[in-house]
Structure 1
Amino acid sequence: MTTASGTRHTSEHSADGRGGIGEIDILWISEGMSCDGDTVSMTAADQPAIEDVVQGLIPGLPKINLYNKVLSPTLGGEEFLAPFRAAARGASRNPFILVIEGSIPNQNIIEGDGYWTSFGNDEDTGEPLTLNWWLDHLTPHAWAVVAIGTCATYGGIHAMAGNPTGSMGLADYLGWDYTSQAGLPIVNVPGCPVQPENFMETLTWVLYHAAGAAPPPPLDDKLRPQWLFGRTVHEGCDRAAYYEQGDFAKDYNSPKCQVKVGCWGPVVNCNVPKRGWMAGIGGCPNVGGICIGCTMPGFPDAFMPFMDEPTGGSLSATLIRPYGAFIRRMRGITNFAVNQEPKWRHNEPALTSGYDPHWRS
């Protein structure tokens, strides 16, 4: 595999006859406009855990070298920056996956001196190196690029209307047609923060692809993993049957459908109600929270003000009520009927179950 600078990674990186990569770096930059919440969330994953991936406990993966400021064993400074600087020069020892956390500010709108966010300093001038500089120098050499969290994928909170930074998602910055050295588009794993297993499962798929053991991960038109974001919150929600029956919560203490109190679940692509949050537990509607659409490209503007009834919620609730009332009544009748024991279950001398051994004379 040849990098954009013409540097060829040698055959020592081949894992086996499949022609896969035997050792790969993960360069993780969280200096986008963010709260580092995605890194914190990722540490809660256990299917697989980041520790298992890095320690080589997952069969078939390449050897992993992770460079993340929260999880780094270095003291920081130049020791931590060394692999990033080498990669930016096109001189990385191994192929690398670039993980970006946080939205990308528009550096072009600043007049004169100044910057929005930086990562390290220029070795010659001592001036801060902006996130934009790193993206411009790293992405041409990256084997794959992964955006973690809604800020990095679509801009998120920092990109909402009225912001002064011009923030955007990674695909907005690099172009939606960007492809990496491996021919992969940007892999977007949204969430505010990201659901831990969603990210680790996706990263593991990318790593298996690097090892030559799996095809590229299937992505939708918003570059999200299809198997994770191909269904809506509503389709996996514990409360969905209440919607079908036209039975809606009037406050947040109710176990019923929360569409009338601000839940956007019927139209939001997310698997959290099915997957839970940590160890299969939680997931916004499962624990009484409404869905505010945090995995969606239109977040937050399209879903504000939060806790107000969603657009179309009143109409859909009105239309479902007659049908729901009828269904509830019919189910109530059937429920009553099947809650009765059959009359032949008794302790009397005559058998009344209808037993009829027809093969006997």
Structure 2
Amino acid sequence: MTVESGTQNVGAQPSRAEARDGFDEITVLWISEGMSCDGDTVSFTAAGQPAVEDLVQGLIPGLPKVNLHNKVLSPSLGGEEFLAPFRAAVRGEMAPFILVIEGSIPNQNIIEGDGYWTSFGNDPETGEPLPLNWWIDRLAPRAWAVVAVGTCATFGGIHAMAGNPTGSMGLADYLGWDFRSQGALPVVNVPGCPIQPENFMETLVWVLYHAAGAAPPPPLDPMLRPQWLFGKTVHEGCDRAAYYEQADFAKDYNSPKCQVKVGCWGPVVNCNVPKHGWMSGIGGCPNVGGVCIGCTMPGFPDAFMPFMDEPAGGSLSATLIRPYGALIRRLRGITNVALNREPKWHHNEPELTSGYDPYWRP
């Protein structure tokens, strides 16, 4: 079946889905041969809402049938058997498909064809390894949607930090931020180091509902991240945020209080981990005493190092809030003491002293 492609309104709220035909079946081609540790694939397998098993078994109402090709989850023996659907897509023999890229994209131009930074399969004619860039150049223009999974693929991540010799970058940097897929979608960026499992699954499911003709395009922020997942800061969803308001800061990592002064960047980082947790709603950096190091942000890691030092501006904001926080903490403490007393009429004496006085009593 065919899909009438709509335009993607980046940064806007989704409008009502237009009535249109959708796909009954779609293939997900997942390449994790970018500059990466494969941690996003491993994390993705922990998703539970929905689980990858629910997705591929067709247990989610309204979604097209999904054929997933990921090297970790593939039942094939690998080699050419695993590569077959990818080669078919390059030849234009597979449509529609969603291309998922894991890992940052190295710059092949800086080595002028002399070798490769990372590869995926071999050229059947020459036997030489095929660089990741070769696959992206041929698959991305044919893909109905292109999704970058993890911070390396979205913004370059650790492999793209200052001083790296590979010229690594994010997928949108490589394809262009004005790139549009066959489904008229820009690159969909789902950052995280590694990806938070449910964040990726929610995004993929939304894209699949869009492919089925049952939903509008996913709303994305200016950095092409899903807006409903990355529209708030870590601090806004953090259980420790009230301590910041009261200027009650942790001095070490064993404290349950706000960790801004021991290196947490939560007040300025777009991420929902405090709300979502990590697996089954449990865990997540600040939830378990870890500082936020900004791994979902385009400037990661350079802009957030050294990780355990107090963030730039943290000292000023903490100083400004200290008088207010101290006063509020003291006043709340007084009120707390008052409210932790039982009413005086709670006693076992013969006289009722609660003030009970029904109007009908003569």
| 1:122 CA drift (Å) | 1.1
When the two structures are superposed, what TM-score results if normalisation uses the length of structure 2? Answer: 0.94
Instruction: Please identify runs of 4+ aligned residues in structure 1 that moved more than 6 A.
Output: none
Contact 2:265 2:292 in 1 (8 A): yes
Separation in 2, partners of 1:240, 1:343: 35
Cα shift readout 1:239-285 (whole Å, capped 9, x = no counterpart):
11111100111111111111000000000000001111011110101
Quote the offset at 1:111 in angstroms.
3.6
TM superposition shift of 1:357: 1.9
Q: Distance in 2 between matches of 1:112 and 1:53?
A: 40
1:74 equivalent to 2:76? Answer: yes
The code of the aligned residue for 1:203 comes to: L
Segment drifting more, 140-149 vs 106-115:
106-115
Asked if 1:135 corresponds to 2:136, the answer is: yes
**2:211 matched residue in structure 1:** 210
Matched, 1:165 2:166: yes
The residue type paired with residue 57 of structure 1 is: L
* Residue of structure 2 in register with 1:305 after alignment: 306
Q: Which runs of 5+ in 2 are unaligned?
A: 5-18
What residue in structure 1 maps to residue 126 of structure 2?
Answer: 125
1:199 match: secondary structure: helix
Which residue number in structure 2 is paired with residue 6 of structure 1?
none
Seq. identity, %: 85
Could you say which residue in structure 1 is the equivalent of 2:60?
58
Partner Cα separation in structure 2 for residue 107 and residue 346 of structure 1:
82
1:9 corresponding residue in structure 2: none
Cα shift at 1:356: 2.3
Comparing 340-349 with 30-39, which one deviates more in the overlay? 340-349
Pair 1:105 & 2:106 matched: yes
Give me the whole-angstrom Cα distance separating, in 2, the residues matched to 1:50 and 1:104: 26
Q: What's the offset of the Cα at 1:344?
A: 1.4
2:79 aligned partner, one-letter code: G
The answer (yes or no) to whether the contact 2:3–2:21 under 8 Å persists in 1 is: no
Distance 1:147 1:50 in 2: 17
Return the offset for 1:97: 0.2
> For 1:177, what is the secondary structure of its paired residue?
coil
Task: Tell me the distance in 2 between the aligned counterparts of 1:175 and 1:233.
Answer: 28
Report the Cα distance in structure 1 between the residues aligned to 2:262 and 2:177, rounded to whole angstroms: 35
Q: Which residue of 2 aligns with 1:286?
A: 287
SS of the residue aligned with 2:127? coil
After superposition, the Cα gap between the structure-2 partners of 1:250 and 1:78, relative to the gap in structure 1 and judged at 3 Å, is: same
Q: Residues 266-309 of structure 1: CA distance to partner in whole angstroms, max 9, x if unpaired?
A: 00000001111011110101101000000000000000011000
> 2:89, 2:139 within 8 Å by CA — same for their partners in 1?
yes
Partner of 1:271: 272
Q: Secondary structure in 2 aligned to 1:140?
A: helix
C-alpha distance after superposition, 1:145-180 (max 9, x if no partner): 000000000000000000000000000000001111
Matched residue, 1:27: 29
Question: Any idea what the Cα deviations from partners look like across 1:27-63, whole Å, max 9, x if unmatched?
Answer: 0000000000000000000100011100111111101
Q: Aligned AA for 2:287?
A: N
Aligned-residue CA RMSD (Å): 1.3
- Matched residue type, 1:144: A
Total equivalences in the alignment = 347
* C-alpha separation in 2, matches of 1:129 and 1:114: 10
**Is 1:48 matched with 2:50?**
yes
